[in-house]
Structures are given as structure tokens and as C-alpha cells.
């Protein structure tokens, strides 16, 4: 139970293994399946990898994050506050979002204990530029956990911008959290707070 | 039921008893020197020769009784209702001292305005996202006032402050669940997203077990389930409840109207305090009713006022004794004064009625009192003794309030008897309650 979100985040990470997938892909489901299989194979082959946070963060930075559209994720996370943010603030915010996700994902990786993934029918937007790849995480004990990866097609490439676990959207949830903070503080304070939070959680890494 | 019993006894006393008595052969009348005669004779001597001193003693006892009444308290321990040798006492002490307390207390805090002012989850803004409108996708942390990392830290802090109170035992809250999660896993992992996913992922059974007891479904009301050390002799419920309320309202964003205290501790505390208030009301009503009854029976308000004083004295003395002995008022002991006065008033009516009858013969207070003591005094003595012994049987109970009730009611009855045999005749004579004596007596 305690590792559930981490395990679910793991799936996001597994889905983002861009180096294992050729650029210009046209099938987002195959993209996710391939990335997932690659990551699971790697973790199965090197179980000790899950015990070293620094190595996990390095793995995330090198092999996974290139698939994520951080700019879009950051824009969705800040909501209408994005429009009022300067370039420098946007860059800092995206940077801290990367660190935050690196911390979260590395924690998720550390909880991998051989869970299986069941692939369900994807859900497409009307214009087929957005897709929700839906899976169910089959745990060794307990009920399956529904997870959805939201991707969009940007310049012909599918990019991941959101993760939905048990119906809770990562970006929508963070947007709510940040929105509440931004009602009391300005964006620079929020970014400083986020940076301090990341440093506390993952040190200077990530 | 008591009224029915008394009514039946009344009817039987005037029907069955005379019928049965008709079949008995009358014995020879004889005068005996026994304990009863000694007591009644002593009472007559006190009235005749030491009237002023007797009044002084009664006055002093009344002052002492009033002083004792001011010490009366409703703070008592449920544990003390049972003897130490009983299984229930030993079980409660074990649970209380070893297993985190016995008396439950619920501390509930609402969101400001019941959460109505909680802002709606923000929109995604200008960025297109066809899936953004999914209901509930923001998670409960976006809509709940308390179930988010910022407020849960506050709840956790309050949890610690409640747990560190000397009279609180086990404290359970949503903070307990979150602490458990932090212990099981890397604590850094607990953020709003984690909490929202956790909330959704817990099935009905687990959510009912871990979250529902401490958080309302909308997350705008949380509850601390506290157990109090009932066996702690220093427990002052009023002070404890005030302290808990203060600790909550010292927190930012928690106003007094958001905090609610309930549960057995509050119920018990409120009950005892309402008992205390109702004690005054009950005694007032009892004496007013008796005064009215006396006024009707004796057809004299003055005589009614005089007659009620011995009963008032008995009530003051028994309550004063409870105060001096540190016996708290509870469900049983609260009724002692009213019940014992209700019974003891019989003696007063009998005595006043007889003495007035005797007075009318010679209009001589001293003679009337002596004759009343010699005949009706014996009846008063026996009936009071019988009732006192009857109540004393309750001393054999394992339930301590019942023991107090039996012994103290007996004490009140005996006090009323003494007052009826000494104070009442003194007052009747000195205040000339039946009118002026015959001229020959005044000189």
C-alpha cells in the first residue's frame, strides 16, 4: 500500500524510455509497450539498481526524461499562472519540475518488485492528436491499480505530459496544490519552496 | 412505581390492618423503661432545660453543613463506583493504565464555514487538454480542506499536542494513518498526489478502517479519537476539555466555532454538571412542595415554615457531610437529600399534628411536648429506625454509589428524627407556633 504511488509512477517512467524507441513514432501504444518492456527487462536484470537513488536518478535523466514534454506539463501544472510568468521563471520552474519528478520516479523505481502490466484499449481524442494509454498494474497482492498515460502529438512525435493514477491526474493535482500556494505567495516564492523541497528530498541530485 | 407502592400501603393500612387487628385479643397496657423511652426523655430534657444550647448546636451544625455544601463537587471517577476487589474495577484499571485509557473523547474540527469557501480546483488555463475535464481528476487534496499535506501537518502537530497531555491516553486520528504510511515507506513520498492516489486506491474496507473514522467523506471535517485516563485521581474534566479546546484554537485558521468536543467524557461531564444544577432546582421544588403541603395540612403558613426547618436542617447536614467527606455528587448521591426529606417529612407531620392536639388540651407547650414525645415519639423512633435499617442494607452492594445512597439516606433520616424530637419542639414552643399558651403558663 505504501509503495503504490511510487510503483505507479514507475510505470510512467517505464513508458518514457525514449532512447529505446525510434523518433517519429506513430503508434503511442507501441511506444509505451516498448518502453515498459525495456525498463522492466533492465530492472529485472539488475535488481540492485533499485537500491541506489543516485543511479536511478541518472537513469531517469538519461533515458526517460527525453520522452516527457516538460514544457507542456509545466504549463498545465501552472495553469493560468504560466501566462504571467517570465522566461527566467518558466525555465526555473521547469527545472524544478524535472527535479521533483526525478525524485518521485526514483522513489518509484526503488519499489519495483516484479509487478505485471495489463494493457487496455486506448482512448483517443476526436482529432486523434491526444491519447490516453490505459493499463492496469497487477500487484502481487491487492486489487489491480488503473493507470493512464496521457500523450499528445507534437511535431509528429508522441510526448507524454500527464499520468493518471486511480483517476487522479498528476498535473491537475499539482496544479491545485500550486494554485493554493500561489494565492498566498508569488511564483518566485513557489519555485524557491519547490527547490528547497527537492533539495530536502533528493539532495543536490536530480 | 414508588407512588403505586405507597398508595397500596396506604389503603392496606386502613383496611387490611384494622380487619386483622379485630381478630387479635387486646393485651394489657404497661409502661416500659426501654431505649426508646430513654431517647425521647432525653429529647424532652434537652428542650426543657437546654433549649438555648440545643439551638446553638443546631445553628453551629447548620453553618458547618453549609460550609460542607460549598465543598460539594461533581468531579468523580466512574472507576470509583466499584470496589477495588470487583472484576470490573480491576479490568478498567488494566485497560486504563496499560492499554491507553478508558473514557472516549471525540475532538472534531470543521473547515472554516464547513468547507463552503473552499475554492474550486483551478482550470488548466489556456493549454488545450481534452482529458482535463475528467471528474475527480484533481484528487481529494484539491477539494478537501484538511486532507492535504499542509493541513495534515497541522493535524499531526495537534495530534502530538493532545497526546502529550497527562490525562490523555491513546490518540487516534488521520495523522495516525499518515504516520503509519511514513514509517512504512520513505516519508518524502507523501505529497498531495500520493495522498489523493492513496485515498482513491484504498478500497471501501481499508478506507473505512484507516481514513473514514477520522475524516469526513468530503475531507472537510476531521476527528481525534482520544481515550482518557479515567483512573487518574488528578483528572479534572472541565479543565481538560478547556485545555484541549484552547490547544486547538491556538492554531492558525481554527476558530472556536469550528471545534466540537463530544463523546462519553463530555456526555458524562455534562450529565454531572446538569445534575449539580438540577440538585438545587430539585431541592427547591421539594421544599416548596412540602411547604405548600404543610400550609394546607396545618392551615397555617407560620406553622408550615417552622415545621420545614428540621427537614431543611437534615438536608443541609447530609449534603454538608458529603462535602466534608469528599463524596462527589453522582446519579445516586444526588437524590439522597430529596428522597430522605420526602420520607422524613412523615415524622414532622405526625409530631406537629400530635403536639397541636396535645397543646389544645391545656395550651401548655411543655406538657404537650412531653406527652407527644411519650407516645408519638416512640412511633417516630421505630419507623425511622426501620427505614434507616432498610436503606442500610444497600451498604452490602458492590456499587459504591448505592452504598453511599443507603448509608447517607439513613444518616439523613436519623438527623431528621433528632431534629424532629429536639429542634422542632423547641421552635414550636419558642415561636408559639400553635398560638399563645394559657395565661397561667406565661408567668
What are A98-125's pLDDT values in tens digits? 888 888 777 777 777 788 889 999 999 9
> Which pLDDT score, from 0 to 100, does residue B191 have?
80
Nearest to A150 among B127, B131, B196 (CB): B131
Determine the average pLDDT of the residues in B357-377. Answer: 89
Determine the average pLDDT of the residues in A169-194. Answer: 89
What are B176-202's pLDDT values in tens digits? 988 887 777 655 557 888 888 888 888
Q: How far are the Cα atoms of A15, A25, A49, A154, A163 from residue A18, in angstroms, in the given order?
A: 8, 10, 19, 15, 16
Pairwise CB contact (< 8 Å): B121 & A175:
yes
Query: In whole angstroms, what is the distance from residue B321 CA to residue B338 CA?
Result: 15
Contact B417, B364 (CB under 8 A): no
Element (H, E) at B260: strand B259-262
Identify which of B369, B367, B364 has the alpha carbon closest to the alpha carbon of residue B354: B369
Query: In whole angstroms, what is the distance from residue A177 CA to residue B148 CA?
Result: 9
Nearest to B129 among A4, A76, A103 (CB): A76
| Residue A22 pLDDT grade (very low, low, confident, very high; cuts 50, 70, 90) | very low
> Which pLDDT score, from 0 to 100, does residue B31 have?
64
Determine the average pLDDT of the residues in B293-313. Answer: 91
Residue A129 has a CB neighbour count (10 Å cut-off) of 14
Element (H, E) at A189: helix A187-202
> Which pLDDT score, from 0 to 100, does residue A14 have?
45
Contacts 24+ apart (CB under 8 A), A34-39: A35/A67, A36/A11, A36/A117, A38/A14, A39/A13, A39/A14, A39/A64
> Which pLDDT score, from 0 to 100, does residue B47 have?
83
> Which pLDDT score, from 0 to 100, does residue B417 have?
92
Pairwise CB contact (< 8 Å): B125 & A78:
yes
B-side interface with A, Cβ within 8 Å? 119, 121-127, 129-132, 134, 136-139, 141-142, 148-150, 181, 184-186, 188-189, 191-194, 196-198, 200-203, 206
| Residue A16 pLDDT grade (very low, low, confident, very high; cuts 50, 70, 90) | very low
Residue A64 DSSP one-character state: I
> Which pLDDT score, from 0 to 100, does residue B443 have?
39
Q: Is A132 left (phi over 0), alpha (psi -120 to 50) or beta?
A: beta
With CA atoms as reference, the chain A residue closest to B179 would be A2
Q: Which residue has the higher pLDDT, B220 or B127?
A: B220
> Which pLDDT score, from 0 to 100, does residue B119 have?
54
> Which pLDDT score, from 0 to 100, does residue B170 have?
92
Pairwise CB contact (< 8 Å): B184 & A166:
no
CA distance B143 to chain A (A): 9
pLDDT at B244 over 60: yes
> Which pLDDT score, from 0 to 100, does residue A36 have?
75
| Residue A23 pLDDT grade (very low, low, confident, very high; cuts 50, 70, 90) | very low
Mean pLDDT, rounded, of chain B: 86
- The yes/no answer on whether domain B34-70+269-430 falls in CATH 3.40.50.1370 is no
CB pairs under 8 A between A and B: 145
pLDDT at B383 over 70: yes
Which CATH code, of 3.10.450.710, 3.40.50.1970, 3.40.50.11810, 3.40.50.300, is assigned to A6-202?
3.10.450.710
Query: In whole angstroms, what is the distance from residue A58 CA to residue A205 CA?
Result: 9
> Which pLDDT score, from 0 to 100, does residue B412 have?
92
pLDDT at B115 over 80: no
| Residue A12 pLDDT grade (very low, low, confident, very high; cuts 50, 70, 90) | very low
pLDDT at A18 over 60: no
Return all residues near A137 (Cβ < 8 A) that are at least 6 apart: A7, A8, A11, A115, A116, A117, A118, A144, A145, A147
CA distance B161 to chain A (A): 26
Pairwise CB contact (< 8 Å): A76 & B197:
no
CA distance B202 to chain A (A): 8
> Which pLDDT score, from 0 to 100, does residue B127 have?
62
Q: Which of A43-47, B216-220, B235-239 is the least confident region?
A: A43-47
Pairwise CB contact (< 8 Å): A5 & B186:
no
Residues of A in contact with B203 (CB under 8 A): 143
Query: In whole angstroms, what is the distance from residue B129 CA to residue B137 CA?
Result: 13
Q: Virtual CA dihedral for A194, A199, A202, A205, nearest 10 degrees? A: 110
Cell numbers representing residue A143 in the block: 486489487
> Which pLDDT score, from 0 to 100, does residue A21 have?
42
Domain ranges within chain B, ordered by starting residue? 34-70+269-430, 103-228+236-262
Amino acid at each position: 500500500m505504501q509503495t503504490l504511488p511510487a510503483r505507479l509512477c514507475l510505470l510512467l517512467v517505464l513508458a518514457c524510455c525514449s532512447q529505446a524507441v525510434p523518433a517519429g513514432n506513430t503508434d503511442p501504444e507501441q511506444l509505451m509497450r516498448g518502453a515498459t518492456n525495456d525498463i522492466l527487462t533492465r530492472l529485472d536484470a539488475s535488481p540492485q539498481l533499485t537500491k541506489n537513488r543516485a543511479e536511478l536518478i541518472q537513469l531517469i535523466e538519461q533515458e526517460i526524461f527525453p520522452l516527457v514534454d516538460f514544457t507542456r506539463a509545466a504549463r498545465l501544472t501552472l495553469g493560468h499562472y504560466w501566462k504571467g510568468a517570465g522566461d527566467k521563471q518558466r525555465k526555473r520552474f521547469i527545472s524544478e519540475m524535472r527535479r521533483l519528478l526525478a525524485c518521485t520516479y526514483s522513489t518509484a523505481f526503488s519499489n519495483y518488485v516484479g509487478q505485471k502490466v495489463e494493457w487496455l484499449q486506448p482512448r483517443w481524442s476526436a482529432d486523434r492528436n491526444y491519447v490516453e494509454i490505459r493499463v492496469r498494474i497487477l500487484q502481487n497482492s491487492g486489487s489491480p491499480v488503473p493507470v493512464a498515460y496521457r500523450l499528445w502529438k507534437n511535431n509528429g512525435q508522441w510526448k507524454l505530459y500527464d499520468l493518471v493514477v486511480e483517476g487522479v491526474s498528476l498535473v491537475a493535482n499539482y496544479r491545485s496544490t500550486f494554485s493554493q500556494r500561489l494565492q498566498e505567495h508569488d511564483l518566485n516564492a513557489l519555485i524557491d519552496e519547490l527547490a528547497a523541497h527537492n533539495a530536502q528530498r533528493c539532495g543536490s541530485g536530480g | 412505581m414508588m407512588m403505586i407502592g405507597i398508595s397500596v400501603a396506604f389503603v392496606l393500612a386502613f383496611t387490611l390492618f384494622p380487619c386483622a387487628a379485630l381478630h387479635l385479643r387486646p393485651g394489657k397496657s404497661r409502661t416500659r423503661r426501654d431505649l426508646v423511652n430513654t431517647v425521647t426523655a432525653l429529647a424532652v430534657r434537652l428542650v426543657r432545660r437546654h433549649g438555648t444550647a440545643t439551638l446553638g448546636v443546631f445553628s453551629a451544625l447548620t453553618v458547618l453543613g453549609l460550609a460542607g455544601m460549598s465543598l460539594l463537587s461533581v468531579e468523580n471517577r466512574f472507576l470509583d463506583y466499584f470496589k477495588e476487589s470487583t472484576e470490573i474495577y480491576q479490568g478498567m484499571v488494566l485497560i486504563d493504565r496499560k492499554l491507553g485509557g478508558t473514557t472516549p473523547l471525540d475532538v472534531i474540527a470543521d473547515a472554516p464555514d464547513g468547507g463552503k469557501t473552499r475554492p474550486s480546483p483551478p482550470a488548466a488555463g489556456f493549454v488545450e487538454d481534452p482529458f482535463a475535464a475528467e471528474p475527480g481528476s484533481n484528487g481529494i487534496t484539491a477539494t478537501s480542506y484538511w486532507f492535504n499535506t499542509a493541513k495534515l501537518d497541522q493535524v499531526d502537530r495537534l495530534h502530538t499536542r493532545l497526546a502529550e497531555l497527562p490525562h490523555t491516553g491513546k490518540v487516534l486520528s488521520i495523522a495516525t494513518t499518515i504516520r503509519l504510511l511514513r514509517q512504512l515507506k520513505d516519508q518524502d513520498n507523501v505529497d498531495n498526489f500520493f495522498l489523493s492516489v492513496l485515498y482513491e486506491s484504498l478500497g471501501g474496507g481499508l478506507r473505512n478502517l484507516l481514513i473514514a473514522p477520522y475524516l469526513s467523506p468530503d475531507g472537510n471535517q476531521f476527528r481525534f479519537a482520544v481515550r482518557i485516563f479515567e483512573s487518574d485521581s488528578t483528572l479534572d474534566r472541565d479543565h481538560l476539555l478547556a485545555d484541549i479546546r484552547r490547544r486547538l484554537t491556538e492554531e492558525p485558521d481554527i476558530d472556536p466555532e469550528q471545534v466540537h468536543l463530544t463523546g462519553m467524557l463530555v456526555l458524562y461531564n455534562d450529565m454531572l454538571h446538569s445534575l449539580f444544577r438540577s440538585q438545587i432546582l430539585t431541592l427547591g421544588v421539594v421544599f416548596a412542595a412540602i411547604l405548600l403541603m404543610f400550609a394546607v395540612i396545618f392551615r397555617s403558613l407560620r406553622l408550615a415554615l417552622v415545621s420545614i426547618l428540621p427537614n431543611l436542617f437534615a438536608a443541609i447536614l447530609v449534603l454538608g457531610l458529603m462535602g466534608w467527606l469528599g463524596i462527589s455528587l453522582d446519579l445516586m448521591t444526588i437524590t439522597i437529600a430529596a428522597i430522605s426529606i420526602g420520607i422524613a417529612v412523615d415524622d414532622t407531620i405526625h409530631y406537629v399534628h400530635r403536639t397541636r392536639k396535645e397543646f389544645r388540651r391545656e395550651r401548655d407547650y411543655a406538657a404537650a411536648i412531653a406527652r407527644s414525645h411519650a407516645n408519638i415519639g416512640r412511633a417516630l423512633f421505630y419507623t425511622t429506625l426501620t427505614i434507616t435499617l432498610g436503606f442500610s442494607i444497600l451498604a452490602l452492594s458492590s456499587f459504591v454509589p448505592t452504598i453511599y445512597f443507603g448509608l447517607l439516606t439513613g444518616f439523613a433520616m436519623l438527623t431528621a428524627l433528632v431534629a424532629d424530637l429536639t429542634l422542632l419542639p423547641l421552635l414550636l414552643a419558642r415561636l408559639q407556633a400553635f398560638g399563645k399558651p394559657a395565661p397561667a403558663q406565661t408567668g
